[in-house]
Structure 1
């Protein structure tokens, strides 16, 4: 996995590694890291979680020797299966299959970002190269349709509902808690990467509509990304600075959820957003757009208010209703039912069956 930050897929992978260890499966993680950058926060997270891993030097997009460095690690570990997360890991696995003795490969597709031409190209390449894997795992039926040309090799495995991360320095937690005590209620939040597909611009437009209609509220935008500067400028343009604050990247998102009255997921596209499941674990009411697996998670329940994507008006109307009508015992019960259905054990069972299928298929071909 190529990740310096502790991302949603990284947290899911770590939880899976710890869980399958309980049934006797060894799970080791290769983390790509650019020299000269600060130490990998994801590697530290794996270390704290007790997950065996190795950091492999990644010298950039044209580092053709990365595959040989990973090959040496795999020769030492002798894995039964390799699974990849992200376009760089996909490219390395694809090269290893073409140049060396192949190891059964399961490729995971978590979704794509659209912030620039380079990102779009990398995600396009990821989708093409994943066709070389024995199995392709996606996060939603919509993503499965995008990979339908690969037929029965495509599987949907939903993310698990994980407790929000409790990490970072105590000073960060204290800062967020102190800020929340000064803000006017209700506090509405967005948590995630600030990139175009996350729809935070729609959230700001919806907030402007609430303010024009005289609703008193505060809003927190938690996360960082390529769109931050543009979004902050949009916030100023909409005269939202008195009620909207950008907090940047927060390691201890648990403290954020503890102070939110409503979480909003305004995404234009998603797989299965970890933020949705985290909010439900933290028992925070949710307004979300009907993208990716969100409709599958919520169904017809009141676990979240689900609206048409791409519409600031629809988003703002749902936010206003959620704030004015408040939460109910039935809503809370629906959220806990989602948490129960999307347990880590369910994810583990799906992975174990997938591993068995891949290895049985390999043995059948060998015989």
Structure 2
């Protein structure tokens, strides 16, 4: 069994943490991987992995070129007999690559969770460290293109979409308590957005879109906003300023995300940056059609072939409002997208396929990887 150390700077509660937990769960359940976990800053993921019996250890990683962290990581890999380190952001990625100097046995796999251009200095250091890299994973096609543009070797980059377990998201509307909690009747059209309240998540223009929607349709609807973050209070103030309190509801950070999906009719993504959103594919697995911005890897999920929703232009309230209106006014279109959503997940974003493909990358790194220097 391959011993894999999952390395993450901040072990919080976002999509990357969900990715790590998914791999740990399914690869260990299939007897392919014995998982271990190391982190710099603890959070909810540490709690969850410890509950699963995964050994966890803190490794201080203060910056990208932190040689003390690299030595500490190499020593931890020796202590635990680690074969491969799977990391997810540049700080821990650089740390793992530098650790090969002190423990040449380990191999390194890096998953890129963003579609973001690096600056010139980072592109230069990427090219230098590329000779130590074994394998890389991009979670969407545009992510692979960006990795190459950022200085990494394309022949060692595999595209493996994020994925979910369809069985975990099965269920009926009647199982949800969301509508009763908010006092919403069954006939009301409910849209859900569960993004963190941060600048790149697009809440400002999403609220502007809702205002435009109220001017375009008489159909009753509610937008439910789940999550927390630094821009929560400014967003609440914007809703009050636009007199949208009757149709926009804030419910805070929630762990019962399936309950929220099952009580909704549509999932809305308004983000500026996406690689391949777990929230989108979870919502689809739960049977929801999707509106998503045409950014990053969203077009790998929502497109004409999939027929599961609509792409809109980022920061364009008219584009978003028109898409919302389409779902409100055309029930047959909504039903068709709902049917296609689960079909799309089964075909392209199913968790067992993703886990096996990722393990294939581990095997390639172990058998064909580059020796650290």
Q: Per the shorter chain, which TM-score range?
A: 0.7 to 0.9
Aligned residue among 318, 321, 327 for 1:322: 327
Please say if 1:92 is aligned against 2:99.
Answer: no
Q: 1:290 to 1:218 in 2, by over 3 A?
A: same
Q: 1:233 Cα deviation (Å)? A: 2.9
Q: 1:359 to 1:80 in 2, by over 3 A?
A: same
Aligned residue among 325, 333, 338 for 2:339: 333
Q: 1:81 Cα deviation (Å)? A: 1.5
Q: 1:14 to 1:233 in 2, by over 3 A?
A: same
Q: 1:229 to 1:69 in 2, by over 3 A?
A: farther
Matches within 5 A, 1:259-270: 259-270=263-274
Q: 1:165 to 1:194 in 2, by over 3 A?
A: farther
Q: Deviations 1:70-119 (Å, cap 9, x if unpaired)?
A: 333211222221110223322321331345435211111111789xxxxx
In structure 2, the partner of 1:55 is: 57
Rounded to whole Å, the distance in 2 between the matches of 1:86 and 1:351 is 17
Q: 1:185 to 1:162 in 2, by over 3 A?
A: same
Rounded to whole Å, the distance in 1 between the matches of 2:94 and 2:245 is 43
Structure with the larger RCO, 1 or 2 (CA within 8 Å, 6+ apart) = 2
Work out whether residues 263 and 279 of structure 1, in 8 Å CA contact, stay in contact via their aligned partners in 2. yes
Q: 1:152 to 1:112 in 2, by over 3 A?
A: closer
In structure 1, the partner of 2:141 is: 141
In structure 2, the partner of 1:286 is: 290
Please say if 1:211 is aligned against 2:217.
Answer: no
Rounded to whole Å, the distance in 1 between the matches of 2:134 and 2:247 is 50
Work out whether residues 305 and 318 of structure 1, in 8 Å CA contact, stay in contact via their aligned partners in 2. yes
Q: 1:68 Cα deviation (Å)? A: 3.8
Gapped regions of structure 1 (runs ≥ 5): 115-119, 167-172
Cα-Cα RMSD: 3.3
Q: Deviations 1:214-272 (Å, cap 9, x if unpaired)?
A: 54321111112233233233323322223212222111111111211211111222101
Rounded to whole Å, the distance in 2 between the matches of 1:182 and 1:202 is 25
Under a length normalisation based on structure 1, what TM-score does the superposition of the two structures give?
0.82
Rounded to whole Å, the distance in 1 between the matches of 2:204 and 2:329 is 23
Work out whether residues 3 and 31 of structure 1, in 8 Å CA contact, stay in contact via their aligned partners in 2. no
Greater displacement, 339-348 / 62-71: 62-71
Q: 1:162 to 1:203 in 2, by over 3 A?
A: farther
